[in-house]
Amino acid sequence: MSQDVSLMAHLMRRAGFGATRNELDEYLSDGYETTVDKLLDPGESNHMPDDLIRRYHVDQSELRQLDCAGAYWLYRMLTTSNPLEEKLALFWHGLFATGYAKLNQARALLNQIDMFRQYGFGSFRDLLVELSRDPAMILWLDNNENHKEAINENYGRELLELFSMGIGNYSEDDIKECAKAFTGWTLKNAEYMSVRASKDSIWPYGRIAWHYEYRADDHDSGEKKFLGEVGNFNGEDIVDIIVTQEPTARFLSTRLFQYFASDEVDDDGVQVIKAMMDSYFESGFKVSAVLRTLFNSDYFKSEKCRYSRVKGPVESVVGTARLAGSYQEPTLDVHSLWAQTMFMGQGLLAPPTVEGWHEGVEWIDSGSLVERINFAAKELSDPTKDGVQDIIRRVTSGYRDFIHAENLVDSCLDFMGPIQVGANTREGLIEFAESQGNLQLKNGKTDQDGSAQVARLIGMIASTQEYQLA
């Protein structure tokens, strides 16, 4: 049983933002493979209703500024019943990294995230076509400046290099031809909107959201030669060619592997990626099929795969807040939550460049580590939080008078995850727990001081090296 719990907790750290024990119990009643299927085919999610957010947070109704939009997306991550939907959207956000700094248009970014939710599990072909039509992407990579008479290669280049095939699998000519095929793909009122974006103008009446426009008269409809094929290609035709390339399958599978399975790819990982590539082609480029192969692989389920990723800042903040049971109703604190992701080096909706964030161990430096620890320790050492109270209840259940430090540590580690820690960490935690004395209970329950004592230990567990890993 406990092996099942560990495995399910592992799955949920990867395919979600971790899970409370209540949530794990529900997933366990479905079993592993059914849970994977449900995660991959989520349907409508339950989450904090939009109308409640918009009435309370007038800034999130308007979404004029980055901080408001970041908080808005965090609410979704914090309260969704479909965690993989958000986790995958966050993956696409990092891969197709589109940043606020150049756009100055938060609504357009959130519309892009909505598009990731809608197309992110389906055909990679459809996703790339939608991405090419996405107004935020168009402005981000200058496709509004890609004209029939004067091409701008920026989108064409990044589509191949960073979004689909990876460098070394096409020529400079292919880039030019690709760019030509996307001429005329722009946004409505492109001239006015790009002037406003370039000046961060919110005047006179706030921002005006964007939508896609195809200008046939600005499209180069001439013949193009792309990756060895010849035709009067438009953008969709180019994407059709891209998605059938083996490098595309490898690129996508590898990136998904690194995000969901392990920062480093070893020999066994190479085999899993091969299987993911097969699923990609067999399913007609379906992302959900590729992920199903990954999640159901022996490699993913193995001990080796566990704790082999450094949690990203957003993952860490959301996971901690979900475990604490915070932010289930609109509250002004959500704003500082967004700021936290910024302090830890992953400003949501504000990736530094089109290459996205440097992940894995590069998330960590002394400043960001201190921010992580201080945030998690504060959030989880608060005995008034619902999630913390639930852990305390579970920890003390079965005891009557007191709990020894060592038992308390093991029990907290269990109900916070389960989280596996090394021997040295466990010693440090026990030493800390001992310094607080045995936990005294009255009729199997903690009093206020006792709850605070357990909460302090929970906060200390959130400060461990192991807690930084997923």
Supply the minimum distance, in Å, between the C-beta of residue 176 and other proteins: 20
Integer CA distances (angstroms), 21 to 6, 62, 212, 303, in order: 11, 36, 44, 20
Region binding other proteins by CB under 8 A among candidate stretches 26-34, 62-70, 74-82, 392-400: 62-70
Burial of 217 (0-12, 13-18, 19+ CB in 10 A): exposed
Residue 59 binds other proteins, judged by CB under 8 A: yes
Q: Which residue has the tokens 């970041």?
A: 70
Please, which residue, 66 or 391, has the CB nearer to other proteins? 66
15 and 84 Cβ atoms separated by less than 8 Å: yes
Region binding other proteins by CB under 8 A among candidate stretches 25-33, 203-211, 288-296, 396-404: 203-211
Residue 27 binds other proteins, judged by CB under 8 A: no
CB atoms within 10 A of CB 449: 10
434 and 405 Cβ atoms separated by less than 8 Å: yes
Q: Which two tokens stand for residue 250?
A: 């490898």
Stretch 367-426 residues interacting with other proteins (CB under 8 A): 367, 369-371, 373-374, 377-378, 381, 422, 424-425
Residue 102 binds other proteins, judged by CB under 8 A: yes
Stretch 256-285 residues interacting with other proteins (CB under 8 A): 263
Please, which residue, 118 or 245, has the CB nearer to other proteins? 118
Question: What is the distance, to the nearest Å, from the Cα of residue 412 to the centroid of all Cα atoms in its chain?
Answer: 27
Residue 236 binds other proteins, judged by CB under 8 A: no
Stretch 306-325 residues interacting with other proteins (CB under 8 A): 310
**With b meaning 16 or more CB within 10 Å and e meaning fewer, what string describes 50-68?**
eeebbeebeebebbbbbbb
185 and 235 Cβ atoms separated by less than 8 Å: yes
Integer CA distances (angstroms), 416 to 19, 34, 182, 275, in order: 9, 24, 49, 33
Binding-site member from 32, 364, 393, 438 for other proteins (CB under 8 A): 364
Region binding other proteins by CB under 8 A among candidate stretches 195-203, 232-240, 295-303, 383-391: 195-203
Integer Cα distance of 272 and 108 in angstroms: 36
159 and 98 Cβ atoms separated by less than 8 Å: no
Helices then strands, counting H and E runs in the chain, come out as 26, 6
Question: What is the distance, to the nearest Å, from the Cα of residue 411 to the centroid of all Cα atoms in its chain?
Answer: 29
- Segment holding 109, helix H or strand E: helix 106-119
Please, which residue, 45 or 65, has the CB nearer to other proteins? 65
Strands 229-231 and 185-187: unpaired
Strands 185-187 and 212-214: antiparallel
Residue 298 binds other proteins, judged by CB under 8 A: no
Region binding other proteins by CB under 8 A among candidate stretches 10-18, 149-157, 287-295, 341-349: 341-349
- Segment holding 134, helix H or strand E: none
Stretch 124-183 residues interacting with other proteins (CB under 8 A): none
Binding-site member from 221, 342, 407, 438 for other proteins (CB under 8 A): 342
Supply the minimum distance, in Å, between the C-beta of residue 443 and other proteins: 27
Binding-site member from 205, 216, 443, 448 for other proteins (CB under 8 A): 205
Residue 62 binds other proteins, judged by CB under 8 A: yes
How many residues bind other proteins (CB under 8 A)? The answer is 85
Please, which residue, 35 or 463, has the CB nearer to other proteins? 463
Binding-site member from 44, 51, 172, 267 for other proteins (CB under 8 A): 51
Residue 353 binds other proteins, judged by CB under 8 A: yes
- Angle at 345 (CA atoms; ends 65, 52), nearest 5 degrees: 40
Residue 366 binds other proteins, judged by CB under 8 A: yes
Binding-site member from 32, 399, 402, 432 for other proteins (CB under 8 A): 432
Region binding other proteins by CB under 8 A among candidate stretches 79-87, 222-230, 270-278, 460-468: 460-468
Binding-site member from 30, 41, 223, 362 for other proteins (CB under 8 A): 362
Residue 304 binds other proteins, judged by CB under 8 A: no
Residue 343 binds other proteins, judged by CB under 8 A: yes
Supply the minimum distance, in Å, between the C-beta of residue 51 and other proteins: 5
Q: Dump strand ranges (E) for 119-233.
A: 185-187, 212-214, 224-226, 229-231
Residue 123 binds other proteins, judged by CB under 8 A: no
Binding-site member from 22, 192, 284, 400 for other proteins (CB under 8 A): 192
Supply the minimum distance, in Å, between the C-beta of residue 214 and other proteins: 11
Please, which residue, 203 or 443, has the CB nearer to other proteins? 203
Integer Cα distance of 220 and 325 in angstroms: 54
